[in-house]
Amino acid sequence: ITVASALTALTAVGVAAVAITTYALSVQNQHARRYHLLPALDAVEDLNRALVDQESGVRGYIITADPLFLVPYERGVTEQAEAMEVLDESLLLDYADLYALVTAVTDTASVWHDDIAQPEVDLVSEGRRDQAIAMVSTGRGLAVFDRLGTEVETLRSAIERERDVSRNALSL
């Protein structure tokens, strides 16, 4: 065996080792990315449920002025915050494109809550139910809530697509 052939063999082994390591790290990264998205998907479902609970609670409270309808509203506010925290933890650092969608959902949810739902609740609580009904009659709350629902669905779909891309990369 000559020195040149020994060096060639060692180089080939080194290149193969680097290729195998690179592939293994790639598979490991894709695996981690795929399973990192599962909590985000669960959080989107929790978020959607929390928003629907809030909307139902506000609507029931405006119709009846019964404080029992505030229970799902208040629970929904808490559950929304918890779901958003999971989305932050799951997406903020590694998924800038998905996190931009989270930001859009957060912004629209804030508008709906701060400018529509909470003022309507406050009006009913202050005995000004007719003014709350007048707010509802403008249709603004429905339009914002519908936009919010669309944004949540867009986020869910985008997370599922990213998960599928990671799954497909693992099967290669």
In whole angstroms, give the CA distance from residue 166 to residue 171.
9
Query: With bands split at pLDDT 50, 70 and 90, how would you rate the model's confidence at 19?
Result: low
More confident residue, 149 or 4: 149
Mean pLDDT of the 21-44 span = 66
In whole angstroms, give the CA distance from residue 28 to residue 51.
35
More confident residue, 43 or 3: 43
Nearest to 40 by CA among 165, 167, 152: 152
Mean pLDDT of the 43-52 span = 98
116 with 62: CB under 8 angstroms? no
Q: What is the pLDDT of residue 21?
A: 59
Least confident range from 1-15, 46-60, 75-89, 149-163: namely 1-15
Q: What is the pLDDT of residue 44?
A: 98
pLDDT (tens digit, 9 = 90+) per residue, 139-163? Answer: 999 999 999 999 999 999 999 999 9
Q: What is the pLDDT of residue 31?
A: 44
Mean pLDDT rounded to a whole number for the chain: 88
Mean pLDDT of the 12-40 span = 62
More confident residue, 105 or 3: 105
Nearest to 118 by CA among 54, 23, 171: 54
Q: Is the pLDDT of residue 87 over 60?
A: yes
Mean pLDDT of the 105-121 span = 98
Q: Is the pLDDT of residue 7 over 90?
A: no
- Location of structure tokens 């519908």: 146
Q: What is the pLDDT of residue 120?
A: 98
Q: What is the pLDDT of residue 83?
A: 98
Q: Cα angle at 92 between 158 and 146, to 5 degrees?
A: 45
